[in-house]
Amino acid sequence: MKQQRLTIISSDCHAGPQRMADFRPYIEAAHLPAFDDYCARIEAFERDVGSGLTGGGATSTGEEGLWDAAVRTRCLDGDGVAAEVIFAQGSVPFAAYPAVGGGRKVEFRASPAQIAAGCRAYNRWLADLCSSDPRRHLGIARVPLPDVAAAVEEVELAAKLGLRGGVHLPPVTSAEAMPYFNDPMYEPFWAACAANHMVLNMHGGANLVYGTGPESYAMTLAEVDWLSHRGLSYLIFSGVFERYPDLHLAMTEQRCHWVHQLLDDFDSVYAHIDVFGSNRHLPRKPSEYFREHCFIGASFLSRPECDARAEVGNACFMWGSDYPHMEGTWPYTNAALRYAFGGGVSSLELGAMLAGNAARCYRIDLAELQPIADRIGPTEADLREPIDILPGEGPNEKPVRSWAFRRHGAWH
């Protein structure tokens, strides 16, 4: 069995065009004048501050894979990855630009109709990219929340387009920015996602702004994940999973050190307030809903995190490469896999974390991927090969930015 090639599914990859203007063929005619103005403002902004949708243009073959399906497939093959779940790279049309960072933004105020049109354009673009091999590419749709009616329409359209990764669920930073997810207004949206088997995906945290001082980045890292954990509490305590037993949630690129303690805290809250009858609408503990409905997209999984798999619950772990980001595993995926899984992981656990859990979350037929895995996948023996010196740690090697090679905590 150790010589059989393994199926690997990356729960975290990214795609986007080289330039915002490349979305133009997917923009509806009524919104083209506004889109052209939006793109012109982005071009002026990039000339001024030197930023870009993909960091100022491609700087590596991997970045070209963001929009070039042939390059992308070669990179997946080189990593031994049979299938991937694809999140957006940067901003989608009419969204705030740039998508990350709390600094200066392009001055453009989009209407609700434009925001919905931008989501449709991105989803059509992504569906075209995924159509190069629908078995391997599972795109995640963008939806125009908090416009629930428009979001429901987009869920149904995305399902028809074949975006099998589900929908992106944005973090809620304040009730003024967007009503919290325990608001009854979202009920048609949860129902549409459940009816169409569209997974809810929370990726990373949110754009937190702490000024421009030397402490700002440290404060961002210290607090960036809690906003997504906050979304989890809304969904569990408001009974969304109780009402929709087929609904799945994937929480991606948030590492996984926090899961065990957070579930203990949730169960403690549940036990405390149940004394007063406040949880009568929830017949089960929060941790039980989590184990049944929730998955962790454990991007750039480190050895310490993998070693804690029993405490966290390895049935929810889904490995991810974060292709092609510098904090991800590409082009060091083989070393990252050997490092993460080389410490006594059983064959059963290995298969679950590399593919089985993702297959359950996203309803993937592993039999369809087996011919691909037979061609490109590593063997178990390959991943058992010890690795002592990690990329970037050898003599005269430049440091590697990948978080896959953390030796201690969540960040280092």
**pLDDT tens readout for residues 41-53:** 999 999 888 655 5
Angle at 128 between CA 126 and CA 133, to 5 degrees: 100
Give me the helices (H) in 50-147, please. 61-64, 69-79, 112-130
Give the whole-angstrom CA distance, residue 253 versus residue 250. 10
User: Cα–Cα distance between 155 and 253 in angstroms, integer?
Assistant: 23
Structure tokens at 45: 């902004």
The type of residue at 250 is A
| Burial (CB count within 10 angstroms: exposed 0-12, middle 13-18, buried 19+), residue 78 | middle
Distance separating alpha carbons of residues 139 and 90, to the nearest angstrom: 15
Q: What is the distance between the alpha carbons of residues 89 and 87, in angstroms, rounded to a whole number?
A: 7
**Mean per-residue pLDDT for 149-168?**
98
Ramachandran quadrant class, 396 (left: phi over 0; alpha: psi -120 to 50; beta: rest): left
Find the helix or strand (DSSP H, E) in which 240 lies. helix 240-243
The whole-number pLDDT of residue 55 equals 40
Q: What is the pLDDT of residue 204?
A: 80
Q: Give pLDDT, residue 106.
A: 94
Q: In this predicted structure, what is the pLDDT of residue 274?
A: 74
Q: Which helix (H) or strand (E) holds 88?
A: strand 83-88
Does position 323 have pLDDT exceeding 90, yes or no? yes
Residue matched to tokens 């729960």: 11
- SS3 sequence, 341-355? HCCCCCHHHHHHHHH
Residues 6+ apart with CB under 8 A from 132: 69, 70, 73
State how far the alpha carbon of 153 is from the alpha carbons of 116, 117, 145, 166, 196, in Å: 10, 11, 11, 14, 12
- Tens of pLDDT, residue by residue over 362-410, are 999 999 999 999 999 999 999 999 888 899 888 888 888 889 998 887 7
pTM over 0.75: yes
Task: Work out the pLDDT band at 59, boundaries 50, 70, 90.
Answer: very low
Q: What is the pLDDT of residues 228-249, one digit of tens each?
A: 788 899 999 999 999 999 999 9
Which domains, and CATH codes, for the chain? 9-405 (3.20.20.140)
Which positions ≥6 away from 151 have C-beta within 8 Å? 143, 144, 145, 189, 192
Q: What is the DSSP letter of 99?
A: S
Side-chain half-sphere CA neighbours of 403 within 13 A: 22
**Under DSSP, is residue 318 helix (H, G, I), strand (E, B) or coil?**
strand
Neighbours of 115 (CB within 10 A): 20
pLDDT over 90 for what percent of the chain?
68
Six token digits for residue 86? 């694809």
Report the C-alpha gap between 72 and 15 in whole angstroms: 9
pLDDT for 73 beyond 80? yes
Looking only at Cα atoms, what is the longest distance across the chain?
63
Cβ contact 404:332 at 8 Å:
yes
- Looking up tokens 């050997």, which residue turns up? 338
Query: DSSP for 319-347?
Result: EE--BT-TTS-TT-HHHHHHHHHTTT--H
Supply the pLDDT for residue 211: 78
Segment 344-354 shows an average pLDDT of 94
Burial class (CB in 10 A: 0-12, 13-18, 19+), 59: exposed
The answer, yes or no, to whether residue 57 has pLDDT greater than 70, is: no
pLDDT at 56 over 60: no
Mean pLDDT within 80-99 = 95
Which pLDDT does position 165 carry in this prediction? Answer: 98
Distances (CA, A) of 232 to 184, 191, 202: 16, 17, 9
